[in-house]
Amino acid sequence: MSTAEAAPSAAPAAGKLPGAEIIGRIRRLIIVTLLATAAYMMLTGASRGFCPGGITGDGRFLDAFGQITDVAPDCITLSLKPSPLVLVALIGLVFGTLSAVQRRAVDTASALRYLNRAMVIIVVLALVAGLIAHVWFRLLPLETWAETRTLFYPFPFGAVDMTVSPMTGP
C-alpha cells in the first residue's frame, strides 16, 4: 500500500476544491470587515453646535457675556466623521492576516485560527474606535470656545470638522 492510498482523509472530498474551507473563511473575513466598517462609520457620524450669546426681544444681538452688540456673535459647529487611520487599520488587518496565513499556516486548522482571530480583532477595533470617538467628541468643551476661540481635538479614532459662522437673526 502506498502512502497516498494510506491517507485518504487528507484528500479533498469528491467535487470539493482543495482549500475551499479557507476560501470560505476569507470571504467571511471580508464580509465581517465590511460590516464592521459600516458600523464604525455609523458610530462616528455626529455633530454638535454652540452659539454663545443670543438675540434680545427687539431683535438685537447679545454677545457671550450678555452685552448688546451690533455684530452677530459667531457660532461653532463640530462634525464627527470616520478617521482615515481607522479605515486603513481595518484594511491593513485584512491584508496582514492574509499574509500571515500564507506564510505561517501549516494546515487548514491553523489558517482558520488566524482568520477567526482577525475577525474578532476587526470587530472589536471598529466598535471600540467608534465608541471612543463618540465619547471623546461629546466631552469636547464647546462652552469654553467663546473665551479662547480654540478647540484642541487630537482624535486618532475620528476626524472632526469645525465650522464657524455668524448667528442668524430672527
Pick from 82, 70, 73: nearest CA to 164: 73
Partners of 76 in the β-ladder: 50, 164
154 in a domain, yes or no? yes
Q: 65-101: per-residue pLDDT in tens? A: 888 888 888 889 999 999 999 999 999 999 999 999 9
Q: 126-162: per-residue pLDDT in tens? A: 999 999 999 999 998 888 877 777 777 777 899 999 8
User: Collapsing DSSP states into helix, strand and coil, what is residue 34?
Assistant: helix
107 in a domain, yes or no? yes
| Average pLDDT over the chain, rounded to an integer | 88
78 in a domain, yes or no? yes
7 in a domain, yes or no? no
pLDDT at res. 3:
46
pTM above 0.85, yes or no: no
pLDDT at res. 52:
86
Total number of domains in the chain: 1
Cell reading at 56: 434680545
pLDDT at res. 9:
47
Q: Which of 35-39, 57-61, 62-66, 72-76 has the highest mean pLDDT?
A: 35-39
Cell reading at 95: 491584508
pLDDT at res. 14:
59
Name the residue range of residue 71's domain: 20-166
Task: Taking residues 98-106, report their average pLDDT.
Answer: 96
Q: 3-36: per-residue pLDDT in tens? A: 444 444 455 555 688 889 999 999 999 999 999 9
Do residues 82 and 44 touch, judged by C-beta distance below 8 A? yes
4 in a domain, yes or no? no
- CA–CA distances in Å: residue 89 to residues 46, 54, 84, 104: 22, 43, 9, 21
pLDDT at res. 5:
46
48 phi and psi angles, rounded to 5 deg: -140, 150
Residue in the block written with cell 465581517: 32
24 in a domain, yes or no? yes
5 in a domain, yes or no? no
Residue in the block written with cell 491584508: 95
